């Protein structure tokens, strides 16, 4: 097996075995604590520009299949695991994880001490790194890591948003959906049939496909617009509500997105998830900041301050809303029980709310799926 190396900007180097694609990539090195759902994670546009480490000791044992993709391509720069399974044991699988990464050209490394790597990231914080199955000169790799661009100040949304609008109306047939090929993207494929009673315009900043499925299953007809769309373009569709999607990168550089959201708040009911949550906060006057190592995994405890209930949530974000900058009209509704950061907001004067986590999460948990019904209720009351 060919060798590969991961170098961090602090000079730390991990050498292991290469799997997946052959190449050299840079990105922010972060970690995810989920034990399953690796295919959904690999295809989540929010991971654009990142090299992701999985904390579970073995990844890939149930293979890959067409039903578990969240976008039209694999999105992250690189993938790091302790042990990459060489077999795919699930009867639904259509291939192995290694072959899946290789077909998409995503560089992977296996056989390193991921516990030591994650501990370093937790202590030092997320760092820029370089992963290579071509270059094994550690001095050169460290220098490359130190000069590679980080996430702060980068507009990655423009790299993952669709180019055109699309109706999400065609019947979904999971068994017939082909595995995506590298380079595919653009207009998102539709997921479910039927026209719901409410029309939702989803602003796509890198939206996971399962979000649209949940909107449809809650009784909505969904039109997907690129995240660069103006408020006038959104309102021209006469929506009953607007959804603000997840997406990658630094929210502070997305002025064009914030301007649109600012004009939509108060004009139509708004629901935001992840990046959409941050954009709603910024549109109302708040600021965001970069977390030390982010929240990524399917086991993040969140308390709903309105009901007192605790939800186990799926999360993937490296930035958060700065509570000290919240305007008076934004009320905190959810809070992370690990570090106390804001996980949910609602506008006290306009029909708008948002959460930092993912209520649509596949492969779970599903504690927060009620939020889609809450959006439906908000639209009914407003219209």
d(CA 335, CA 342): 5
Q: 3-state SS of the chain?
A: CCEEEEEECCCCEEEEEEEEECCEEEEEEEEECCCCCHHHHHCCHHHCCEEEEECCCEECCCCECHHHCCCCCCCCCEEECCEECCCCCCCCCCECHHHHHHHHCCEEEECCCHHHHHHHHHHHCCEEEEEECCCCCHHHHHHHHHHCCCCCCCCCHHHHCCCCCEEECCCCCHHHCCCCCCCCCCCCCCCCCCCCCEEEEEEECCCCHHHHHHHHHCCEEEEEEECCCCHHHHHCCCCCEEEECCCCCCHHHCHHHHHHHHHHECCECEEEECHHHHHHHHHCCCCEEEEEEEEEEEEEEEEECCCCCEEEEEEEEEEEECHHHCCCCEEEEEEECCCCCEEEEEECCCCEEEECCECCCCCCCCCCCHHHHHHHHHHHHHC
Active site residue 252: no
Are 288 and 321 contacting, i.e. CB atoms less than 8 angstroms apart?
yes
> Which of 9, 28, 70, 360 is the catalytic position?
360
199 is catalytic: no
167 an active-site residue? no
Please pick, among 30, 257, 274, 284, the residue that the annotation labels catalytic: 274
CB 216 within 8 A of CB 191: yes
Q: Which of 246, 242, 250 is nearest to 287 (CA)?
A: 250
Cite the active site residues: 274, 358, 360
């Amino acid at each position: 097996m060919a060798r590969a190396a991961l170098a961090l900007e602090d000079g730390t180097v991990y050498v292991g075995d290469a799997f997946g694609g052959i190449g050299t990539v840079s990105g922010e090195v972060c970690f995810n604590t989920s034990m399953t759902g690796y295919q959904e994670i690999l295809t989540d546009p929010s991971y654009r520009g990142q090299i992701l480490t999985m904390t579970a000791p073995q990844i890939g044992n149930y293979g890959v299949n067409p039903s578990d993709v969240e976008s039209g391509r694999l999105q992250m720069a690189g993938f790091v695991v302790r042990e990459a399974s060489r077999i795919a044991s699930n009867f639904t699988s259509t291939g192995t994880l290694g072959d899946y990464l290789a077909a998409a050209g995503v560089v992977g490394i296996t056989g390193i001490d991921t516990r030591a790597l994650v501990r370093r990231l937790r202590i030092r914080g997320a760092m820029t790194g370089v992963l290579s199955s071509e270059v094994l000169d550690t001095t050169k790799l460290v220098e490359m890591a130190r000069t590679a661009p980080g996430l702060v100040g980068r507009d990655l949304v423009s790299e993952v948003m669709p180019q055109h609008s699309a109706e999400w109306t065609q019947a979904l047939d999971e068994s017939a959906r082909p595995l995506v090929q590298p380079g595919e993207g653009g207009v998102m494929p539709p997921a479910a049939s039927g026209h719901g009673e409410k029309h939702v315009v989803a602003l796509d900043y890198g939206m996971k496909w399962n979000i649209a499925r949940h909107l449809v299953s809650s009784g909505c007809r969904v039109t997907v617009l690129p995240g660069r769309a103006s408020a006038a373009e959104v309102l021209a569709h006469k929506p009953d509500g607007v959804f603000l999607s997840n997406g990658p990168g630094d929210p502070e550089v997305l002025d064009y997105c914030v301007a649109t959201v600012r004009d939509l708040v108060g004009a139509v009911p708004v629901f935001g998830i992840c990046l959409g949550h941050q954009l709603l906060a910024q549109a109302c006057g708040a600021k965001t900041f970069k977390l030390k190592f982010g929240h990524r995994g399917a086991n993040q405890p969140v308390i709903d301050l309105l009901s007192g209930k605790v939800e186990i949530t799926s999360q993937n974000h490296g930035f958060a809303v700065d509570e000290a900058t919240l305007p008076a009209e934004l009320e905190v509704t959810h809070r992370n029980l690990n570090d106390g950061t804001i996980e949910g907001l609602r506008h006290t004067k306009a029909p708008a709310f948002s959460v930092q986590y993912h209520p649509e999460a596949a492969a779970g948990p599903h504690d927060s799926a009620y939020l889609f019904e809450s959006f439906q209720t908000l639209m009914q009351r407003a219209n």
